[in-house]
């Protein structure tokens, strides 16, 4: 009985909170919170740093190094991978090779799961009963065939690469080293096999990069780490502007040269971005916190503005929480 009473009090509390938030959203013409997390991110919400994206794509195209997209949690590594994946199939390298791409987004994989995930992502056929080495062998053969017969190099994207079992790495290393000596001997007459045919594009934090340096120097030595740049204030402004416009159902007419950030002030965004260190995940969390405070104030004085004072209040509260967590 006691539990039921508490439960309904809790539910009432959350319902009131929801209504308060909803009133703020309605007031700014939004259909949902602009700062909610989306399971499937919409490319119209991406802020593109075309210089950085180009540097990733250029490295893949020149085929000199594997790539490690390096950055803290929430800095946008996965987003950048998706953007690079989008661009690659439309491009060719200096020798005229096109690209076949594969993306492994799951982590915590052991050897066989990794082998299967790679084969699936590259649309290479295999039998469920096969051992991981047989699966990887099939991937290697098919990558070689695509290179020789279809003039296609393979770009394999692996998320949070260090979050997999160590044995899974050896599969990656084998692919990173292709073509093998045997392949060169066998195919060398048909087409010069004088370059890698599989480029690895991995992601992870600095800690994982350092781990890779010490445990997998064979791959690390041939891999270029690229640090995800933080969003500057102008980009943070666009990040918030796009999300508001998206929630208002107006994203298709979004003009990056001229857009509204109402009900946020420029000051508020600068405060948020400074507290977030330009990390998009943290910008979103802080903006959502600001929405909550602004929604409470709206109820009292009928003004939905997120100004500098609100942003400072929320940033300080988050800094305290983060300190306690660490």
**What are the residues binding Mg ion (CB under 5 A)?**
77-78
Nearer to ligand ATP, 76 or 179 (CB): 76
For residue 226, give both structure tokens. Answer: 């690229």
Nearer to ligand ATP, 142 or 160 (CB): 160
Nearer to Mg ion, 77 or 235 (CB): 77
Sign of the dihedral defined by the CA atoms of residues 293, 256, 88, 178, in that order:
negative
At closest approach, how far in Å is the CB of 145 from ligand ATP? 32
The 10 Å Cβ neighbour count of residue 267 is 14
Residue 102's DSSP bridge partners are 156
Nearer to ligand ATP, 105 or 248 (CB): 105
Helix (H, G, I), strand (E, B) or coil at 136: helix
At closest approach, how far in Å is the CB of 246 from ligand ATP? 11
Residue of 177, 88, 119, 188 whose CA lies nearest to 148? 188
Do 84 and 200 touch, CB atoms closer than 8 A?
no
CA distance 241 to 82: 21
At closest approach, how far in Å is the CB of 203 from Mg ion? 6
CA distance 276 to 319: 10
At closest approach, how far in Å is the CB of 217 from ligand ATP? 24
Using CB distances below 5 to 8 A depending on partner kind, what does residue 41 bind out of ligand ATP, Mg ion, none? ligand ATP
Nearer to Mg ion, 142 or 159 (CB): 159
Nearer to ligand ATP, 105 or 313 (CB): 105
CA angle (191, 218, 190) in 5-degree steps: 5
By DSSP bridging, strand 66-70 and strand 152-158 are: unpaired
Do 310 and 271 touch, CB atoms closer than 8 A?
no
Using CB distances below 5 to 8 A depending on partner kind, what does residue 239 bind out of ligand ATP, Mg ion, none? ligand ATP
Using CB distances below 5 to 8 A depending on partner kind, what does residue 281 bind out of Mg ion, ligand ATP, none? ligand ATP
Using CB distances below 5 to 8 A depending on partner kind, what does residue 75 bind out of ligand ATP, Mg ion, none? ligand ATP
At closest approach, how far in Å is the CB of 187 from ligand ATP? 37
Residue of 259, 212, 264 whose CA lies nearest to 69? 212
Which spans of this chain sit near ligand ATP (rule: CB under 6 A)? 37, 41, 45-47, 71, 73-79, 239, 280-281, 284
At closest approach, how far in Å is the CB of 290 from ligand ATP? 16
DSSP annotation of 178 reads: P
Closest residue by beta carbon to ligand ATP: 76
């Amino acid at each position: 009985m006691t539990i039921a009473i508490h439960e309904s009090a809790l539910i009432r509390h959350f319902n009131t909170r929801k209504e308060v938030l909803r009133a703020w959203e309605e007031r700014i013409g939004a259909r949902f919170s602009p700062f909610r997390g989306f399971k499937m991110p919409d490319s119209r919400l991406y802020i593109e740093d075309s210089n950085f994206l180009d540097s990733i794509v250029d490295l893949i195209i020149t085929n000199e190094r594997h790539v490690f997209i390096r950055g803290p949690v929430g800095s946008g590594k996965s987003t950048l991978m998706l953007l690079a994946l989008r661009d690659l199939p439309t491009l060719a390298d200096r020798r005229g090779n096109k690209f076949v791409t594969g993306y492994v987004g799951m982590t915590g994989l052991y050897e066989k799961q990794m082998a299967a995930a790679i084969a699936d992502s590259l649309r290479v056929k295999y039998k469920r009963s096969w051992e991981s080495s047989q699966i990887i062998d099939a991937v290697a053969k098919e990558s070689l065939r695509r290179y020789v017969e279809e003039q296609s190099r393979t770009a394999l994207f692996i998320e949070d690469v260090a979050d997999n079992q160590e044995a899974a790495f050896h599969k990656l290393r084998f692919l990173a080293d292709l073509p093998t000596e045997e392949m060169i001997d066998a195919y060398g007459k048909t087409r010069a096999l004088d370059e890698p045919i599989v480029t690895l594009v991995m992601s992870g934090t600095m800690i994982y990069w350092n781990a890779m340096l010490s445990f997998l120097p064979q791959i690390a030595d041939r891999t270029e780490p690229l640090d995800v740049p933080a969003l500057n204030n102008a980009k943070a402004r666009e990040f918030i502007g796009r999300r508001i416009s998206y929630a208002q159902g107006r994203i298709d007419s979004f003009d990056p040269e001229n857009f509204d950030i109402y009900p946020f002030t420029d000051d508020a965004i600068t405060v948020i971005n400074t507290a977030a260190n330009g990390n998009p995940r943290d910008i979103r969390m802080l903006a959502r916190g600001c929405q909550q405070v602004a929604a409470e104030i709206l109820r009292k004085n009928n003004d939905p503005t997120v100004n500098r004072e609100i942003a400072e209040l929320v940033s300080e509260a988050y800094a305290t929480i983060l300190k306690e967590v660490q």
